[in-house]
Amino acid sequence: MSTMPNELLPAAADCLKKVAEVEAKKATEYLRKQAADEADKKALLEQLEKPSGVSDEERMKRAATIIQRAVNDGLTEVFVGRFPNQLCTDGGRAINQAEPGWEATLTGLPKELFAFWAQHLKPRGYKIKFYIVDFPNGMPGDVGITLNWA
C-alpha cells in the first residue's frame, strides 16, 4: 500500500498560512485579554477612589476577625491587601522612599484604612506598613499593606 506525499504532507505554503492564522488568533486573544484587564483595573480604581461606606464599627469587627484568625494560626502579621499606585498622589514615590509624611499621598480607600489604623489600632499597639509590591518597567507599581502586632 503506497501513500502519496500529497495526502500526508501539506505544502509548505499551506503550513505557513496555518501558522499565520494561529499567530493571528493568539494576538487577537492577547489584545482581548489585555483590554479586559485594563477595564478591570479601571473599574477597581474607580471603586477604590470612592468612600467605602463601611462604618468604623463594621471595620473593627472585620479587623478583629482577621487578627484573631491570624493569632490562632500563630502569626504576628497579616497581609491586608494591595492597591494600584495610582491611589497615591505621587504614584507611590514617597512610600517607596519611606519619606516622612508619605501617608498624606494616600487617597480613597487606602486613606480610609490608614486613618482607621491611626485612630483605632495604633493606640492598641498595632503597626501598619505600606510598601511597593512590584516594580513594572523599573517604576513603583502596586502598594501592599500589612498589619502586625509583634
Extract the C-alpha cell encoding 37.
Answer: 484587564
Long-range Cβ pairs for the range 94-103 (8 Å, 24+): 95/130, 95/131, 95/132, 95/140, 95/143, 96/132, 96/140, 102/130, 103/130
Extract the C-alpha cell encoding 86.
Answer: 495610582
Per-residue pLDDT, averaged over 117-146, amounts to 95
The two beta strands, 77-83 and 127-132, are unpaired
In 3D space, the residue among 111, 115, 109, 116 whose CA is nearest the CA of residue 59 turns out to be: 116
Q: How confident is the model at residue 95 (pLDDT cuts 50, 70, 90)?
A: very high
Residue with cell 487578627: 67
| Gap between the Cα atoms of 29 and 103, Å rounded | 40
Instruction: Give the DSSP H or E segment for 112.
Output: helix 108-116
pLDDT digits (tens, 9 = 90+) for 33-50: 988 888 888 887 788 788
Share of the chain above pLDDT 90, in %: 75
Extract the C-alpha cell encoding 144.
Answer: 501592599
Q: Where exactly are the structural domains of the chain?
A: 5-48, 54-148
